Structure 1
Amino acid sequence: MKSEEMAPHQDEGQKEHGEDAVPPNIKLEIIDLSSEALACADRREKARQQIINSFSTLGFCQVSGMNDYSAEALLQGSKWFFDDVSEQTKLDQIGTKAYNPSNKNSYRGYFPAQHDRMSCKEGYDVGLQWEIPDHLKDIPLVEQTPMLHIPGQEKEVEHYYEVLFRHRDNVRGVGDTIMSLIAEAGGERTDYFKRMFSEFAQHTLRPIRYPQRVGEVPKDAILPSGRVISTPAHADSGFLTFLQTFDYPGLELLVDDKWYAVPPNPETLIVNVGEQLSEMSNGRFAATVHRVMDIGKSRFSMPFFYEPGADADINTKIPASLLPPETEDKFDRSYYPYVTFLFFKLPIYAEYSHVSDNIPESIYKKYIENYEPKECWATKTAIQVDGATFMQRKLKAKYRETFSKS
């Protein structure tokens, strides 16, 4: 239940609205995470409480105070990448194996828009550039990010990655700060989550363009009023998402079975809870369902998915004092690696429908054979998905049959 101060703001005279209506705006808390604010005991305490309150109610907030931050530079970089670099060049050099079988990368890299799907967007999944350790090699989801090399445009390419990586590192630091503040709020040391989220982390930065939908649009992507969906309703899979929407509207949240629009603010980052952080909090933190609407022109955004290491144990919890009463010991304490969750979950998304194909037998036996899929928003609800809804259940059967013959 939302507190009164966190309740959605409706414009005066706004009538009750359903899925089809143009929704009213929602007001998200803005949390100052500047170094000046966090150096002051009172302002740091305020930030801690704002995070806990926001995550426990809407599951969304905004953060400000990042140093040397330029949303305009990011936007210009995205426009160069999507508008000035041809799709064929992107597919040839950095396209994922699903869209360019001659490439080896199956998870990191570029994917084109699929106009016949409910979710119509193109993007570039960029991970951290660390050397892959021996114990994580051969996992299809752990790989280096392929990078562009365009003769005659070396300076443009170099500038693009400088801007992109600066943003990635900046936002990763904001994620570390928020997890430290959650730890402090629960009476723990600031490094309570450090190992989980810093050692070989699977963090993903994703520049996105949502093209205007034209021509044949899937009928389920068109609401009765004629409003068109770019990405259908979903909850984020991981732990925290940091989203720059630049100055583009289109993001909508489902709160108490009603839709609300999030006004864009390029001076802040939108932060929301993913379903694994929600599970880590025994449901105290809300992984809120949201969607993206077509705005009649190309729309750019840039999420950063704050994720743990591939083999990090996600059967763990936030500090006990923050858990809902009488839930402290009600969870399975057996080891469950994050990559196992991803293998079962990612195929529901069109752009990732292939990532659980061709898993090496050794990886299957280590990360899949002895585990069962976790429930997620897609298995708990009737929300339509683009990929293989039941891939989670079919995956184990497919590989049991494959490896039993070997």
Structure 2
Amino acid sequence: MLFRLHLAEVTSPAMAENEQNRKDDIAESEYQKGVKQLCEKGNLDAVPKKYILAASDRPSKSVKDPNVAKQSLELPIIDFAELLGPNRAQVLQSLANACEQYGFFQLVNHCISDDVVKSMIDVGGRFFDLPFEERAKYMTSDMGAPVRCGTSFSQTKDTVLCWRDFLKLLCHPLQDFLPHWPTSPLDFRKVLAKYAEETKDLFLVIMEGMVESLGVMEEKEDNIVKEFENGSQMMVINMYPACPEPELTLGMPPHSDYGFLTLLLQDEVKGLQIQYQDKWVTVEPIPNALVINVGDHLEIFSNGKYKSVLHRVMVNEFKSRVSVASLHSLPFNYTVRVSPKLIDQANPKRYMDTDFSTFLAYVSTTEPNKKDFLDSRKLFQ
């Protein structure tokens, strides 16, 4: 997202006083080490200028702001057990409604045990508690690396950085990538491998329901669901440290997700917001539930019926926040295209075919901005 600094717009007395305390002399190399490292090196009583958004991009809490809803949003809840039961037809309709109206839903009774869920959040947090030298082993600008630790949204291109550090790991095939994963904490590989396997299995069942809900189930020898078995899976562990001035910055800017579906696990700290009816609304966490959202590829495949929705992440003044996103799509070398069964005279093909190399080429030459990659795939607006 293209941000411009308008520091003169910081006008409140408290913020003006903090301006004097800002660490204006922080070297660029220090920012590249991540937000947590900045926080650990000294008591930050003000957000450094590098993280301050333009006034129009800041997460307003004012009830007078027409772009902010006055209450949190309770997303549609899909019961995974019901999806597999005799009420499947009704659940598929609820699934379709959620994907058309919200682009998001919360999944309960998903069969991933509470212990696995808690262990994943725990080990993710403990990775970022490691000494910086341990985390630095995995810091690289190579977007194709099997393991990549970094900061912000795109630390080399963002005009303004985000209050976020991340660890991205390729997960499928597991036997190929697990040897590249961190060995610290000691239980990291074991916990992450278990969670990766279970989210992969869960994704396959949900995606089968998605395809069925679209009415495009194909013959077994030509079934897209079968292709997902060897599809791509990337896990992203996000750390959002406590922030002294959360009203000036964001953990992640407005964006949509690349891929078919994202399965998000979050701790109890609120932070995720989605754009619903042109307003930013906070998603209420449900203990042990997964937040599922439509990605750009599913919007393309569904010819725009299911929408990948803009979402962003707020930060917290008093608490850090950990989330784990599992992003799933077709294999990296496959082409994503609109389902032929969703194209007719009344509904012409709305998106160009695309693949992962096209996406990498795009994001390597431009600063991320909302849904700009997906927009670049549209045949007409």
Q: 2:146 & 2:77 partners in 1: Cα distance? A: 32
Amino acid in the other structure paired with 2:290: L
Q: 1:131 & 1:298 partners in 2: Cα distance? A: 30
Counterpart contact for 1:275–1:376, Cα < 8 Å:
no
Q: 1:110 & 1:349 partners in 2: Cα distance? A: 19
1:260 to 281, 284, 287: 281
1:48 aligns with 2:42: no
1:378 aligns with 2:369: no
Partner of 2:312: 291
Partner of 1:202: 232
Using CA pairs under 8 Å that are at least 6 residues apart, name the structure with larger relative contact order, 1 or 2.
2
Amino acid in the other structure paired with 2:113: Y
Q: 1:348 & 1:289 partners in 2: Cα distance? A: 18
Partner SS for 2:73: coil
The two structures have a TM-score, normalised by structure 1, of 0.66
Partner of 1:193: 224
Deviations 1:33-58 (A, max 9, x none): 13xx34423x2112211111100111
1:86 aligns with 2:104: no
Q: Which moved more, 1:66-75 or 1:249-258?
A: 66-75
Deviations 1:164-198 (A, max 9, x none): 12111111122111221122231525863234322
Q: Which moved more, 1:258-267 or 1:205-214?
A: 205-214
Q: 2:197 & 2:128 partners in 1: Cα distance? A: 22
Matches within 5 A, 1:131-280: 146-149=180-183, 156-157=185-186, 159-185=187-213, 186=215, 188-189=217-218, 192-199=223-230, 201-214=231-244, 226=247, 228-280=249-301
Partner of 1:59: 103
Counterpart contact for 2:79–2:108, Cα < 8 Å:
yes
Q: 2:174 & 2:193 partners in 1: Cα distance? A: 16
Partner of 1:123: 166
Q: 2:315 & 2:373 partners in 1: Cα distance? A: 26
1:281 aligns with 2:315: no
- Structure 1 position 252, deviation (Å): 0.9
- Structure 1 position 325, deviation (Å): 7.8
- Structure 1 position 79, deviation (Å): 1.8
1:343 aligns with 2:361: yes
The count of aligned residue pairs is 305
Partner SS for 2:203: helix
Quick one: structure 1 residues 56 and 129, their matched pair in 2 at CA, closer, same or farther if it must change by over 3 Å? closer
- Structure 1 position 291, deviation (Å): 0.7
Deviations 1:366-403 (A, max 9, x none): xxxxxxxxx9812688xxxxxxxx9x9xxxxxxxxxxx
1:112 aligns with 2:140: no
- Structure 1 position 257, deviation (Å): 1.6
- Structure 1 position 227, deviation (Å): 5.2
- Structure 1 position 117, deviation (Å): 3.6
Counterpart contact for 1:122–1:208, Cα < 8 Å:
yes
The two structures have a TM-score, normalised by structure 2, of 0.70
Amino acid in the other structure paired with 1:86: P
Quick one: structure 1 residues 16 and 283, their matched pair in 2 at CA, closer, same or farther if it must change by over 3 Å? farther
Partner SS for 2:259: coil
Deviations 1:103-143 (A, max 9, x none): xx84332323359843221111112253899xxxxxxxxx7
Q: 2:328 & 2:295 partners in 1: Cα distance? A: 9
Q: 2:324 & 2:340 partners in 1: Cα distance? A: 27
**Structure 1 unmatched runs, 5+:** 1-13, 99-104, 134-142, 151-155, 351-374, 382-389, 393-406
